[in-house]
Structure 1
């Protein structure tokens, strides 16, 4: 079976997962999604879906500016495929390993640094010139309407917080460990290679589900099935927007910015511990 056909099957399977997750939550009455294991705050299902959908719609309406001076990266397609599947396996291993673990914050940080940073960097050293590089364009003006629309709705409907002001050290720590490292691994490394292997939307959908999967443990409380569905809709929806933002505009700094703002309440809670 050709890779593009596999991409179609992956896209169909991924969309089916999202639909099944929404139907499960509505059918079971779990339409208020818990935002974290550290507090009881919730966000409505429709608010999460609306926020992600509006961001995607605005990004779709504002196409990236064409640049004729960019030389697209070249690499052996077989090497790109190998890198994509190995990175996908690492993402799955991190999600499963973290969920099954009984360790605390140190275990979480260590596992993340090992599987999402250290091992991929070893792959990069071993790949040498075969390491597939993204054609980062660094455009800011055209993606901003989508970013502002998403952040406006996230601010209105997103994660509530009424605690103490954030501590700068906590904000920087959460930004580096979550926004920076996760966006480099899931979008810049993994999604880019999946796009080159199976196509844009299969890559975005699959990456968003893998990205969401590791959050099950920290957004839980209602049993594995409901927790998984809630995480796919909540975190996966944000992942769809981040993935499309990356695929359409290729500006990694916007990924860091949006992800950092999404995680800001986590930094606020960390400052209180």
Structure 2
């Protein structure tokens, strides 16, 4: 039940959104992107581009050892994909309208991105921890090393207090793992089956990036959203391509974990 017409439309629309966001940032002279919600340091736009495209280029040059066809292209997979997309969009809107804070963040995130998909059988927990990763570790390693090397090189040193190990583990599980399971393993995989690889990667990256506009904000809604699409969406494209090409969820957790908890911060624990 491949929706080829929808796939072409989503691909064109997704590219248009990314280009419009990029033009907005350049036109308004907001080419210094805030690193994270907890860090007001900035990252130049060209450094972000080099990091993302460097990782993508190496991944494109190193094909997977064996192919993974993902989920079957049938009506059930399509329905699940769009219901998951609706939950992702609901999370964006509800979080944007909420008073903010960690309580609201987790109070919306856990039901919408975890409990409801499992309760209504829109996805299965087994999808990630039963993935056969044999032969899917060494080939993606060059792309990951290039991405993480550039990300660390262009990043900032950590000058805050010594991170608490429990907090670090909590951030890793609730952010890196949960988000990659929902957005890439569950949502993107289903959209791939119905609309194709690149439309699925772009749509997933955009909806993943959208809610970050709330916590990376400060320059007005339009600029904040454009910044989220380019910055977080750029990382999402790399993560999405990594998942689509190599099908190893542990690598997603690793890359996302380092993005959230950069190496200088992890080194400060010790």
Structures share a fold, TM > 0.5?
yes
For 2:144, the equivalent position in structure 1 comes to: 147
Superposed displacement of residue 132, structure 1: 10
For 1:136, the equivalent position in structure 2 comes to: 131
For 1:205, the equivalent position in structure 2 comes to: 202
Superposed displacement of residue 76, structure 1: 6.7
Gaps of 5+ in 1: none
Report if aligned partners of 2:72, 2:193 keep a CA contact under 8 Å in 1: no
For 1:62, the equivalent position in structure 2 comes to: 62
**Greater alpha carbon shift after TM alignment, 46-55 vs 33-42:** 33-42
For 2:11, the equivalent position in structure 1 comes to: 11
Superposed displacement of residue 35, structure 1: 2.1
- TM-score normalised to structure 1 length: 0.90
Matched, 1:26 2:21: no
Superposed displacement of residue 216, structure 1: 0.7
For 2:212, the equivalent position in structure 1 comes to: 215
Gaps of 5+ in 2: none
Superposed displacement of residue 158, structure 1: 3.1
Distance verdict in 2 for CA 1:246–1:74, change over 3 Å? closer
CA distance in 2, matches of 1:267, 1:115: 32
CA distance in 2, matches of 1:232, 1:159: 22
CA distance in 1, matches of 2:143, 2:48: 16
Report if aligned partners of 1:90, 1:116 keep a CA contact under 8 Å in 2: yes
Distance verdict in 2 for CA 1:119–1:266, change over 3 Å? farther
CA distance in 1, matches of 2:148, 2:127: 29
Deviations 1:67-105 (A, max 9, x none): 6xx7x5665710001000000000011011111110421
Report if aligned partners of 1:164, 1:268 keep a CA contact under 8 Å in 2: no
CA distance in 2, matches of 1:58, 1:120: 34
Superposed displacement of residue 40, structure 1: 2.0
CA distance in 1, matches of 2:71, 2:61: 29
- TM-score normalised to structure 2 length: 0.91
RMSD between aligned residues = 2.7
Q: Report the number of matched residues.
A: 265
Report if aligned partners of 2:71, 2:193 keep a CA contact under 8 Å in 1: no
Q: 1:246-265, aligned counterparts within 5 Å?
A: 246-265=243-262
CA distance in 2, matches of 1:159, 1:196: 39
Residue in structure 2 matching 1:158, options 151, 155, 159: 155
Superposed displacement of residue 140, structure 1: 0.3
